Amino acid sequence: MKIINPSSEEIIADIAEDNEQSIKKKFLELKVGQQDWRKIPLKDRVKILQRFAELLKANIESLALVLTSEVGKPVQQSRNEINGACTRILWLTENALTYLADETMIHQTGLTEKIVYEPLGVIANISAWNYPYLVGVNVFVPALLAGNAVMYKPSEYSSLTGLEIEKLLKQAGVPSSVFYVAIGARAVGELLLNTSFDGYFFTGSYKTGKYIYEKVAFKMVPCQCELGGKDPLYVADDVADVKAVAAGTADGAFYNNGQSCCAVERIYVHESIFDQYVEAFVKEVKTWKIGKPTEEGVYFGSLSRKEQIAFLQAQVDEAFQKGAKILMGGKAISGKGYYFEPTVLVNVDHSMSVMREESFGPVIGIMKVKNDKEAIALMKDTDYGLTASVYSCDQLRAENILQQINTGTGYWNCCDRVSAAVPWSGRNHSGFGATLSHAGLRAFSKPKAYHLRG
Ligand code: NAD
């Protein structure tokens, strides 16, 4: 499989793809390996995964360059991602003993009732390219902690990072027969769906997630889907500092070129501050540098996938034809690499795809609203439900709005952030199930109830 650097369009590696035989062989090894791994005391598995985090830190510069070379994100954002992954591993490992240890629920004369969290077995982790460390860690770290073996299929756009992860996990002490990477694109993913895994954990698009969920349903094993979003953000009329809010929310929309599952994808602003907000928003984005992702100080690198350019262009063109105004950007940047101008649209409405379908790129629509009621109705008008955000001086007002929205995460005066301490989960087309938090630690186990008399 040829790996292309999206910022230069050069082939940077040619790696061996998995096939039916290799997947079968790896799976059979994982089946055996898992039986020994589950017997290793949890505290020792914790130590191994903490060592993995140390190795990530120790190798951060070279790992960041590999990541940047295959996905095109600025090298500082690659470093941020690896550091973020280490923070998550720390939380997961520090809390594993609390949430995965046996729990005695009732202990009285003659009767004990307890819960034992048994591993699922060998799980398949089919993953996305936009944050391969973060979305990978969300799954394979708690899965390994819980005593599972893992077949990790990185996206075909982040395969080199997948191989680095495999190398460092093994260096940290995870036995080779407990973690394997499956290299390849859709066809290799299909091979995993045709293998008898004990659980499927998918991160990616709604379209693929729906397909996978349907395809594995008959197996009667757990399946979790973390999918895309069309995350709304509302700026109320009482914010203290419109300029600061505009700058912070622009970052929420454009960080990683907008290629974040929880990127701000549509913005509603109260009419009394609309003009001020939009002016500050555009001014802020214009200060951010577009360039080679390896150059320090660059904020916008290239997009990761070539196809995304045509998709974004179609969204912008459709919006324009329906009456949207393009305040900046609006087209691909010519030359080598998959670059698209950061694009800000106003005069948008919900008849336009840009306000309804995940853009997953540096394109944002900003819409004027009269009041909270209109903002709530528009925020709710979506098939997705990953995150929603409200900026206001009034916490009660913000929480009242957020509780009316069917979303996995609600933000007050912040956006585009993930914490290991609370669940990460979607609703509707954004998926189901949770990673991170105690829920995410337990997602990779089967609770067994013991009723013990005597
Ligand atoms: P994608 O659905 O195209 O691919 C995801 C993975 O599925 C890849 O590894 C791919 O090779 C594999 N795949 C594709 N077809 C398959 C098939 N038929 N059978 C088995 N596997 C198959 O998604 P992507 O482009 O890699 O990622 C972008 C999407 O992921 C966006 O929608 C984004 O919002 C979402 N995402 C969600 C989260 C979250 O936590 N909710 C995090 C990151 C990304």
Alpha carbon distances (Å) from 399 to 51, 242, 373, 402, 412: 39, 20, 14, 5, 7
The DSSP secondary-structure symbol of 387 reads E
Ligand 1 pocket, residue 360 CB under 6 Å: yes
Catalytic annotation, pick one of 164, 166, 226, 341:
226
Token duo for residue 452: 């013990």
Distance 209 CA to ligand 1 centre (A): 7
Surface-to-core class of residue 98, CB atoms within 10 Å of its CB (0-12 exposed, 13-18 middle, 19+ buried)? exposed
257 lines ligand 1 (CB under 6 A): no
Separation CA 230–CA 223 (nearest Å): 23
What residue's CA is closest to ligand 1, atom 40?
226
Q: 32 — phi, psi (to 5°)? A: -75, -45
CA contacts within 13 A on the Cβ side of 310: 2
CA–CA gap between residue 113 and residue 105 (Å, rounded): 6
- Active-site annotation holds for 225: no
- From the CA of 228, give the closest atom in ligand 1: 34
Assigned token pair, 127: 């993953």
CA 305 – ligand 1 centroid, Å: 13
Closest C-alpha residue for ligand 1 atom 42: 261
Q: For strand 122-126 and strand 149-153, is the pairing parallel, antiparallel, or unpaired?
A: parallel
φ, ψ dihedrals at 328, nearest 5°:
-160, 155
Residue type, 90: L
Give the pair of three-digit tokens for residue 292.
């080679």
Asked if residue 126 lies in contact with residue 204, where contact means CB atoms within 8 angstroms, the answer is yes
Task: Name which residue sits closest to atom 30 of ligand 1, judged by CA.
Answer: 204
Q: 205 C-alpha vs ligand 1 centroid, how far in Å?
A: 5
Say how far apart CA 110 and CA 260 lie, in whole Å: 54
Ligand 1 centroid from CA 97, angstroms? 31
Q: Do 361 and 254 meet the contact criterion of CB atoms below 8 Å apart?
A: no
213 lines ligand 1 (CB under 6 A): no
- Distance between CA atoms of 402 and 410, rounded to whole angstroms? 6
164 lines ligand 1 (CB under 6 A): no
| Angstrom distances, CA of residue 192 to CA of 35, 167, 389 | 20, 21, 36
Active site residue 226: yes
Please give the chain's pLDDT, 454 residues, in tens.
Answer: 999 999 999 999 999 999 999 999 999 999 999 999 999 999 999 999 999 999 999 999 999 999 999 999 999 999 999 999 999 999 999 999 999 999 999 999 999 999 999 999 999 999 999 999 999 999 999 999 999 999 999 999 999 999 999 999 999 999 999 999 999 999 999 999 999 999 999 999 999 999 999 999 999 999 999 999 999 999 999 999 999 999 999 999 999 999 999 999 999 999 999 999 999 999 999 999 999 999 999 999 999 999 999 999 999 999 999 999 999 999 999 999 999 999 999 999 999 999 999 999 999 999 999 999 999 999 999 999 999 999 999 999 999 999 999 999 999 999 999 999 999 999 999 999 999 999 999 999 999 999 999 8
If one counts every other C-beta atom within 10 angstroms of the C-beta of residue 183, the result is 21
Sign of the Cα pseudo-torsion (267, 309, 202, 13, in order):
negative
| Paired tokens of 23 | 């997947």
Residues 6+ apart with CB under 8 A from 26: 18, 151, 180, 182
**Dihedral sign from CA coordinates of 246, 249, 253, 255:** positive
User: Can you say whether the dihedral through the CA atoms of 164, 168, 169, 171 is positive or negative?
Assistant: positive
CB 160 within 8 A of CB 64: no
Please give the domain boundaries of the chain with CATH numbers for all domains: 2-227+427-453 (3.40.605.10), 231-419 (3.40.309.10)
Helix (H) or strand (E) run with residue 123 in it: strand 122-126
CA of 207 to the centre of ligand 1 (A): 9
DSSP 3-state of 30: helix
Q: Which residues fall within 8 angstroms of residue 449, CB to CB, at 6 or more apart?
A: 113, 114, 115
- Asked if 420 contacts 88 with a C-beta cutoff of 8 angstroms, the reply is yes
What pLDDT, in 10s, does the model give residues 98-141? 999 999 999 999 999 999 999 999 999 999 999 999 999 999 99
**Best of 23, 127, 130 to mutate for ligand 1, by most ligand atoms within 8 A of CB?**
130
Q: Which of 225, 261, 262, 415 is catalytic?
A: 261
Best CA proximity match to 2, nearest among 67, 10, 70, 13: 13
Residue at token pair 């094993």? 221
CA 279 – CA 283 distance, rounded (Å): 6
